[in-house]
Amino acid sequence: MRRYLSLYWYFLLQRFKILMEYRVNFFIGAFSTFLMQSAGVLAVWVIMRQIPDINGWTLNEILLIYGLLTLAKSINHMFADNLWTIGWGYIRPGGFDRFLVRPINPLFHLLADRFCHDGIGNLLVGAVLVGLSSHALGVVWTPLTLLYLIVAVISGGVIFIALNLITATSAFFIIESIPITQVIFNTHEFARVPLTIYPRAIGLVMTWLIPYGFASFYPASQLLGRDVGVLAWLSPVVAVILAVLSYQVWLFGLRHYSGTGS
């Protein structure tokens, strides 16, 4: 573990050296993501200005859910964005083979190969939303509450990464995995707002099939004192199960990788 942490730090430093060669691009990338997320928040604000609450949920409560999801997504965006490029960026041109001949885990090498600074914009928006909304709602931040928040956000990030890894592994068979990854990834939009406003079927899908609800709705409900039962505590369990499952799917795909012949 220490070796891989040291290696990742080395990869990260090299990545930032490259990014700092083009400082304007670095800030434009981070700021553009900030603007995109801000536009989404503005849309929620405009709607809620006309409607006092949605099924009993106020603007600040919805912004807390939105902020938690954005924080979780930022982890995926910063540390695992390379999963989107595995087909056209590595497998098709033959560059993936270099991961197989080096004495480190190929998945680790793929993820460490590129830190995506655009995700910093997501991180900032998520942090601001959680901070402002929790203050407006009177959430009391104790050491245990802060620990719960950190665990929930990290668990949400792992859920995002695991679902992307499962779908991105299809690149070993069809090369172009982005459409498949996009279909599953885009369902996280449902988890930006309370799952209770949807028909029961959508809530079940967001809980048990594509469990983005554990990255936003259930942790937010716990922080707000809304009773959702044991589901409020299952985010790390779901994250671990999905991480193990996604890695097994990855290993299955890796065993069937035969190169492009280029």
Nearest 5°: the CA angle 239, 245, 249 is 140
Predicted model pTM: 0.91
Closest alpha carbon to 125 in 186, 78, 63: 63
User: Is there a domain that residue 107 lies in?
Assistant: yes
Alpha helices in the chain (DSSP H): 2-20, 23-50, 59-80, 97-100, 106-112, 119-137, 143-168, 171-174, 178-185, 200-204, 217-223, 235-255
User: Is there a domain that residue 261 lies in?
Assistant: no
Q: pLDDT-based confidence at 16, cuts 50/70/90? A: confident
Q: What is the pLDDT of residues 154-187, one digit of tens each?
A: 999 999 999 999 999 999 999 889 999 999 999 9
Range of lowest pLDDT (91-95, 150-154, 194-198): 91-95
Write down the pLDDT at residue 167: 97
For residue 57, the SS3 value is: strand
Q: What is the pLDDT of residues 194-241, one digit of tens each?
A: 999 999 999 999 999 999 999 999 999 999 999 999 999 999 999 999
User: Is there a domain that residue 260 lies in?
Assistant: no
User: Is there a domain that residue 262 lies in?
Assistant: no
Contact 134, 64 (CB under 8 A): yes
Contact 89, 175 (CB under 8 A): no
Write down the pLDDT at residue 114: 87
Locus of tokens 């009391």: 140
Q: pLDDT-based confidence at 72, cuts 50/70/90? A: very high
User: Is there a domain that residue 31 lies in?
Assistant: yes
Q: What is the pLDDT of residues 106-116, one digit of tens each?
A: 999 999 998 88
* Beta-bridge partner residues of 54: 57
User: Is there a domain that residue 43 lies in?
Assistant: yes
User: Is there a domain that residue 200 lies in?
Assistant: yes
Number of domains observed in the structure of the chain: 1
Write the DSSP string, 182-220: HHHHGGGGGGGS-GGGS-HHHHHIIIIIS-GGGGTHHHH
Write down the pLDDT at residue 181: 96
Range of lowest pLDDT (11-20, 101-110, 132-141): 11-20
What range does the domain containing 22 cover?
2-255
Q: pLDDT-based confidence at 120, cuts 50/70/90? A: confident
